[in-house]
């Protein structure tokens, strides 16, 4: 109604400083005291690789590592993990060289439309960091919270097995294509 003041349904929470080591870099930002980690990473820390899928803990797209442990960032209060070490998909590569898990997803068809891929990569890397020789059952267990509509999962499992072989030193960095690539759009996409 004209002249009527808009009253938000949920009052906004006061902002306070949030800091963490994100992909090896100290980050400090202001975030509402009730902010969700997914929002802080995407909107404040610029980690757009962290995907919002279901926003309710069922798809795994938003998976990040917190102190090396995979967690769903859509179900994590940001201030609860202030001061911790957070790794998103952006933190897996070594500069412009893909990590073995990323290269293997590309080489073995583990990524198709790609929307689920950041969550799978982070969950898989967390597994390989602790277990470079996972069985198929252990792989299935590690990715059971991640959903993919495209691949049928078999290529994802094969990608993880191939990356595990590289971690064990049994495969030459399969990495046929893993030469450093320059950013094809250094100024962002053309509008
Ligand atoms: S967006 Fe977090 S589990 Fe789906
Ligand atoms: S590659 Fe499309 S949802 Fe997984």
Which of 49, 4, 1, 57 lies closest to 23, judged by CA?
49
Residues 57-111 have pLDDT tens digits of 999 999 999 999 999 999 999 999 999 999 999 999 998 899 999 999 999 999 9
Q: Which part of the chain has CATH 1.10.150.120?
A: 100-167
Q: CB under 6 Å to ligand 1: residues? A: 52-55, 57-62, 72, 74
Q: Which residue has the tokens 């929470």?
A: 13
The number of the ligand nearest the C-alpha atom of 54 reads 1
* Mutational pocket test of ligand 1: of 39, 42, 59, 78, the residue with most ligand atoms within 8 Å of the beta carbon: 59
Tell me which ligand sits closest to the C-alpha of residue 50: 1
pLDDT over 90 percentage in the chain:
81
pLDDT tens figures, 137-171:
999 999 999 999 999 999 999 999 999 999 999 98
Q: What is the mean pLDDT of residues 121-141?
A: 98
Q: Distance, CA 153 to ligand 2 centroid (Å)?
A: 9
Ligand 1 center from residue 50 Cα (angstroms):
10
CATH number of 100-167: 1.10.150.120
Instruction: Give all strands of the β-sheet with 63-66 in edge-to-edge order.
Output: 25-32, 15-22, 85-87, 63-66, 69-72
Pocket probe for ligand 2: among 54, 109, 112, the residue whose CB has the most ligand atoms within 8 Å is: 112
Instruction: Round the average pLDDT of the chain to a whole number and report it.
Output: 90
How much distance in Å is there from the Cα of 173 to the middle of ligand 2?
A: 25
Instruction: Measure 143 CA to ligand 2 centroid, in angstroms.
Output: 13
Residue 3 pLDDT greater than 80, yes or no? no
Contact of 152 with 93, CB cutoff 8 Å: no
Predicted pLDDT at 176: 47
Q: Where are any strands of DSSP class E within the chain?
A: 15-22, 25-32, 63-66, 69-72, 85-87
Dist. CA 171 → ligand 1 center (Å) = 33
Q: Whose CA is nearest to atom 3 of ligand 1?
A: 57
CB of 152 closer than 6 angstroms to any ligand 2 atom? no
Q: How far is CA 131 from CA 47, 156, 164, in A?
A: 27, 17, 8
pTM: 0.87
Give residue 1's pLDDT.
52
13 CB contacts (<8 Å, ≥6 apart)? 32, 33, 34, 35
* CATH code for the part of the protein at 15-91: 3.10.20.30
């Amino acid at each position: 109604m004209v002249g009527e003041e808009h009253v938000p349904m949920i009052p906004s929470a006061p902002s306070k400083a949030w800091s963490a080591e994100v992909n090896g870099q100290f980050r400090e930002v202001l975030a509402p005291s009730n902010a969700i980690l997914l929002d802080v990473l995407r909107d404040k820390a610029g980690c757009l690789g962290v995907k919002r899928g279901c926003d309710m803990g069922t798809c795994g797209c938003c998976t990040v590592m917190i102190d090396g442990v995979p967690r769903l960032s859509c179900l994590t209060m940001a201030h609860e993990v202030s001061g911790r070490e957070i790794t998103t998909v952006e933190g897996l590569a070594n500069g412009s060289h893909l990590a073995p898990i990323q290269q293997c997803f590309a080489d073995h068809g583990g990524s198709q439309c790609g929307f689920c891929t950041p969550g799978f990569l982070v969950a898989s890397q967390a597994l390989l960091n602790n277990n470079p020789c996972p069985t198929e059952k252990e792989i299935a267990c590690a990715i059971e919270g991640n959903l993919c509509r495209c691949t049928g999962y078999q290529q994802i499992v094969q990608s993880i097995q191939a990356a595990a072989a590289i971690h064990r030193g049994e495969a030459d960095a399969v990495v046929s294509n893993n030469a450093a690539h320059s950013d094809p759009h250094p100024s962002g996409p053309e509008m």
